[in-house]
Amino acid sequence: MFLKQTGKTQPSTDTRLQPWVEKYRPQSIDEVSAQEHTVAVLKKALTSTNLPHMLFYGPPGTGKTSTILALARELFGPQNFRSRILELNASDERGISIVREKIKTFARQTPRRTPEDSAYPCPPYKIVILDEADSMTQDAQGALRRIMETHSRITRFCLVCNYITRIIEPLASRCSKFRFTPLSSSATLSRLEHIAASESIAVSPQAFKALITTSDGDLRRSITYLQSAARLSLSVSSTGARPITPADIQEIAGTVPDPVVLRFLAALGVDPPPGSDDAMDVDGDESAFIKPPRVTGFNGVRDVVKEIMRAGYSTAQLIIQIHDVMIHHPILTSRQKAQCALIFAEADKALNDGGDEELQLLEVGMRVHKALL
């Protein structure tokens, strides 16, 4: 629920209904969590009011869009924000015709002179933000090349993307690049705590931990999960307050509960890694899963697979989680792990090609089982 606010959307919508990712989007560049290096460089640019073309890249939810929006807000202030910024979300408006018409006309306009008494630096250029630029076609990117150069006196471009390799080389070389790293767990935690405090909801440390592990470094995802969890706990708590538990978070995130994963692994012949007992205590309600019966062999695996399919868990998600457990497993040999990694890779490809979930899970199960014999 990452409402890309272009300034055109009316801010009058009820804040209660507003997604928290939008509500708690950083308003100034100092507020941006982590990314110290990028922030330091940009602040320098802010004081000198001379900005290069920029290319922000990094995994989702690391604050790329937030940073550029905050920067623009600090440069131009709320009044000029609208006229100086063109934000294009490449997910629906892309293609060469948009570049030729919309971007070119905007880039061509000379910005209006700003009043002297403005509190903001308001430098004499405009910014074009191209969000999700990696989904732009090669042609569209090619059309940008010349526009970027001819109008560089009055227009700066900021490309935001996940994969820098999808940006054509001539564009990338015209920009100064900023890499956004996944957020460390402490940075995520402090942001989440801040939000929980301002929304006055009670979240246990374990729940925070679950939030951080399920979202691995993606702040937007963890905030969305937090909001969903809060929504659920609030709506149930009409009868009595119910704190947010790690199990809630896991259910919302669509991850498979640990007992189920361990049970599947047990059927494959993998002993639960030591130290996972505390994880099993957390979800005490699914007691049916806790005692793994030691049936192995084909039928054992098939039964567990059938059971998992009946419970409706997603194979792709399960494979990710099995992978996490097995790669860090202390007892398995490197050779076994290597073989398993190959199996997972093949299964992931097969699932992406549209393979049947049950067959693929069975396939993974049987092959891992064989590899561990």
Partner 1 sequence: MSLWVDKYRPRTLDALHYHKELSERLASLAASGDFPHMLFYGPSGGGKKTRIACTLRELFGPGVEKLKIDQRVFETPSKRKLDVNIVQSNFHIEITPSDVGIYDRVVIQEILKEIAQTQQVDLSAKQRFKVVIINEADSLSRDAQAALRRTMEKYMSNMRIILCANSTSKLIAPIKSRCLLMRVAAPSEVEMEAALRHVAKEEKFDLPDNACEEIIKDSGGNLRKALLVLEALKMQSFTRFISNINIAKPDWESYCGKVAELIIQKQTPDQLYELLSHCIPPTVVLKTIADRVVDMVDESLKGDIMHWAAFYEVRMRIGSKKIFHLEAWVIKVMSLQKHMYYGVDLTGVGFETVANVQQFIMEVLDGGIVQIVGGAICGRNMKGRFVAEL
Residues that bind partner 1 (CB under 8 A): 1-4, 13, 16-17, 19, 60, 89, 91-92, 220-221, 224-225, 228, 231-232, 234-236, 238, 251-254, 297-298, 302, 306, 309-317, 350-351, 353-360, 362-363, 366-367, 369-370
For residue 37 the two structure tokens come to: 């290096």
Task: Work out how close the CB of 184 gets to partner 1 at its nearest, in angstroms, rounded to a whole number.
Answer: 20
Give the span between the Cα atoms of 125 and 110, in whole angstroms.
8
Task: Work out how close the CB of 285 gets to partner 1 at its nearest, in angstroms, rounded to a whole number.
Answer: 9
Nearest to 319 by CA among 337, 344, 339: 344
Amino acid present at 215: S
Provide the β-strand partners of residue 129: 87, 158
For residue 39 the two structure tokens come to: 């922030």
Measured from the CB atom, is 79 or 91 closer to partner 1? 91
Task: Work out how close the CB of 311 gets to partner 1 at its nearest, in angstroms, rounded to a whole number.
Answer: 4
Task: Work out how close the CB of 145 gets to partner 1 at its nearest, in angstroms, rounded to a whole number.
Answer: 26
Task: Work out how close the CB of 93 gets to partner 1 at its nearest, in angstroms, rounded to a whole number.
Answer: 9
> What burial class does residue 297 get, using C-beta atoms within 10 Å of its C-beta: 0-12 exposed, 13-18 middle, 19+ buried?
exposed
Measured from the CB atom, is 234 or 325 closer to partner 1? 234
Measured from the CB atom, is 125 or 218 closer to partner 1? 218
Task: Work out how close the CB of 370 gets to partner 1 at its nearest, in angstroms, rounded to a whole number.
Answer: 6
**How many Cα atoms occupy the beta-carbon half-sphere of 50 within 13 Å?**
2
Measured from the CB atom, is 94 or 126 closer to partner 1? 94
Task: Work out how close the CB of 282 gets to partner 1 at its nearest, in angstroms, rounded to a whole number.
Answer: 17
Measured from the CB atom, is 2 or 106 closer to partner 1? 2
Give the span between the Cα atoms of 19 and 41, in whole angstroms.
30
Measured from the CB atom, is 58 or 123 closer to partner 1? 58
Give the span between the Cα atoms of 161 and 68, in whole angstroms.
12
Quick check: 58 and 64 in contact, CB under 8 A?
A: yes
Measured from the CB atom, is 16 or 335 closer to partner 1? 16
- The Cα-based distances of 349 to 139, 162, 316, 319, 362 in angstroms read 29, 21, 10, 12, 15
Give the span between the Cα atoms of 61 and 217, in whole angstroms.
8
Long-range contacts of 247-250 (CB under 8 A, 24+ apart): 247/282, 247/283, 247/285, 248/207, 249/207, 249/210, 249/211, 249/214, 249/225, 250/210, 250/214, 250/283
Measured from the CB atom, is 46 or 232 closer to partner 1? 232
Task: Work out how close the CB of 4 gets to partner 1 at its nearest, in angstroms, rounded to a whole number.
Answer: 7
Task: Work out how close the CB of 232 gets to partner 1 at its nearest, in angstroms, rounded to a whole number.
Answer: 6
**Residue 184: CB partners within 8 Å, gap ≥ 6?**
34, 217
Give the span between the Cα atoms of 26 and 248, in whole angstroms.
27
Measured from the CB atom, is 155 or 214 closer to partner 1? 214
